Amino acid sequence: MLSSGRLLKLVPQSYLVSVPTVGMDPAYRVGLESISREYDRVECPVDGEIPLWLSGTLFRNGPGRFEVDDSDLTHWFDGLAMLRRFRIDDGSVTVSNRFLRSKEYTHVTEQGELRCDQFGTTAPKSIVGRLTGLLNPELTDNASISVDRIGTDPVAITETPNAVAFDSETLETTGTISPDDSVEITGSLGHPHYDFDHETVVNMGVRFGRQSAYVLFERSAEGTIRRPISTLPVDQPAYFHSFGLTEQYAVLLESPLRLNPLSLLSDRSFIESYAWDDNRESNLLVFDRLAGEFVDRFPVEPCFVFHHANAFERGNELVVDCIAFADDTVIDSLFLDQLRGGEIPAPGGDLRRYRLSLSEGTVDENTLLSGPLEFPMINYRQVSTQPYRYLYAAGHTAAHSPEADQDGQPTGLLDALVKVDLDDGTNTVWSEPGVYPSEPVFVARDPPATPDVDADRPADDGVLLSVMLDTDAEQSVLVVLDAASVSEIARAELPTAFPFGFHGQWYPDDSRAHRSMP
Ligand SMILES: [Fe+2]
């Protein structure tokens, strides 16, 4: 078992933690403010040398504006979606950013009010409108969570089934893709999985109604036609944000954060319609996606999970890794007034491993690395659904650096990147004072390794791409790190400070470019 701070192999920077002063705005606040300007393929000065094999496009998604008319949106997840595009070729970088011209965005800019409820902010509606909406809900297309592809066309995705297509060169919005009726769901996840063997995209949805249900479904990588795999009725659905996938199974961590359907009739926001039920445990729900049936429910200690990291089968055992929080208070900490205040505990959980014995019906859980950690990342193409060695995540210097004070809860945002070696129990940390990383996107060295082609190739042979906020310069930078050593190779200076983003995808310019999956 790994423990926090044990055997740090590489410490490339000093570890002065940028802790905000009471009563003052934290230095990272600029990363939580709106931006209005849109840049179109602007050249970014590069310090260092970007490897020539690194040729492709990184699309990132996240909020770009946090106000509607004169009113503030309340939660970090509510901001209007703004795409970021980083084109890397021949050692150079250009950047673009563009607001998604969703129906939500158009309505907000033209009417000065929300069209649909967002995660933490409600749209103005009468009680009649709410009743009507309960029966036939209008779901937002403010798709700010991540990026996917349908065929070769990129789309912005969120936690409703509405995806928004955009041009891969200009980022211009080309239209909202509303779902067909083949899978009856109210919500789906911004973290779909890719089944490379079957060339399908697998996702989990939830249906609210007289009979609510969790719905596991898939679509071909090339098309929009969806197919339900398995449906599990549930009385009070849990809120969930991602799930785990193995070669045969899908695993969902169902927390005690449960929906009260009557709350949807109130003025409460989507997430405030859920409440933590102290009388419930968490469950790992296992679906056999090949047989198309629900397998079993494995009770575990109460916890809340945003992000699964990886899952795989080992003999008769399912191994499920995720970032787990003790409860749902992290959601409250991501309301903008909390985040901007700066005195919050750092919003990150522990790296948790569950081992499920399908034959015995038992589950074992342990913490692989104490947090705060978030935004877990793996060499997805090579090790997703497989036993694996390396995991990357955003961490915190006050918890993960050699000088870390193990007493007390780190505050402020995550300010480091951590590489976890699950085999030898070591951690490698990168950080720089005043610099706040985003999700580290792993890009395999070209030509990319695949389980079929090169099983022996090290899974950390590649780079990490992370858009970071340099608070001293009040400027965002795209940092390229060697994934093996977690040391900086190069950084590109962006023309301004972008708001912190959520997730994205890298699409390489190689022979796989015709393929829709990353
Ligand atoms: Fe996420």
Alpha carbon of 376 to ligand 1 centroid (Å): 9
Token digits of residue 25:
């705005």
DSSP characters for 125-182?
A: --HHHHHHHHHS--------SEEEEETTEEEEE-SSS-EEEE-TTT--EEEEE---SS
Alpha carbon of 503 to ligand 1 centroid (Å): 7
User: Distance between CA atoms of 433 and 435, rounded to whole angstroms?
Assistant: 6
Alpha carbon of 41 to ligand 1 centroid (Å): 26
- What is residue 161's predicted lDDT score, i.e. its pLDDT? 87
Residue 135, judged by CB atoms within 10 A of its CB (0-12, 13-18, 19+), counts as: exposed
Alpha carbon of 129 to ligand 1 centroid (Å): 30
- What is residue 176's predicted lDDT score, i.e. its pLDDT? 86
Contacts of 419 (CB under 8 A, 6+ apart): 390, 391, 392, 427, 428, 429, 460, 483, 486
Alpha carbon of 242 to ligand 1 centroid (Å): 7
Question: Within 29-146, where are the H helices?
Answer: 103-111, 127-135
Q: Is 45 helix (H, G, I), strand (E, B) or coil?
A: coil
Alpha carbon of 341 to ligand 1 centroid (Å): 22
Token digits of residue 108:
């907000």
Alpha carbon of 513 to ligand 1 centroid (Å): 25
Contacts of 398 (CB under 8 A, 6+ apart): 17, 346, 404, 405, 410, 411
Alpha carbon of 8 to ligand 1 centroid (Å): 27
Alpha carbon of 325 to ligand 1 centroid (Å): 14
Alpha carbon of 250 to ligand 1 centroid (Å): 17
Contacts of 13 (CB under 8 A, 6+ apart): 430, 431, 432, 433
Alpha carbon of 16 to ligand 1 centroid (Å): 28
User: Distance between CA atoms of 276 and 266, rounded to whole angstroms?
Assistant: 18
Residue 458, judged by CB atoms within 10 A of its CB (0-12, 13-18, 19+), counts as: middle
DSSP characters for 223-283?
A: ---EEEEEEEE-SSPBP-S--EE-SSEEEEEE-SEEE-GGGGGSS--TGGGEEE-TT--EE
- What is residue 403's predicted lDDT score, i.e. its pLDDT? 74
Amino acid (1-letter code) at residue 81? A
Alpha carbon of 159 to ligand 1 centroid (Å): 10
- What is residue 7's predicted lDDT score, i.e. its pLDDT? 28
Q: What is the 3-state secondary structure (H, E, C) of 317-332?
A: EEEEEEEEECCCHHHH
Alpha carbon of 308 to ligand 1 centroid (Å): 9
Alpha carbon of 80 to ligand 1 centroid (Å): 16
Token digits of residue 54:
């690194």
Do residues 92 and 480 make contact, with C-beta atoms less than 8 angstroms apart? no
Query: Mean of the per-residue pLDDT values for the chain?
Result: 88
Buried b (16+ CB within 10 A) or exposed e, 47-84: eeebbebbbbbbbbbbbbbbebeeeebbbbbbbbbbbb
- What is residue 447's predicted lDDT score, i.e. its pLDDT? 62
Q: Which residues of the chain have pLDDT under 70?
A: 1-24, 126-136, 264-265, 405-408, 447-456, 510-518
CA nearest neighbour of 190 among 42, 50, 62, 83? 62
Alpha carbon of 438 to ligand 1 centroid (Å): 12
Tell me 418's DSSP state.
Answer: E
Q: Is 3 helix (H, G, I), strand (E, B) or coil?
A: coil
pTM, 2 dp: 0.91
- What is residue 138's predicted lDDT score, i.e. its pLDDT? 79
Question: Looking up tokens 């991602």, which residue turns up?
Answer: 242
Buried b (16+ CB within 10 A) or exposed e, 320-355: bbbbbbeebebbeebbbebbbbbebebbbbbbbbbe
Cα end-to-end span (Å), the chain: 31
Alpha carbon of 456 to ligand 1 centroid (Å): 30
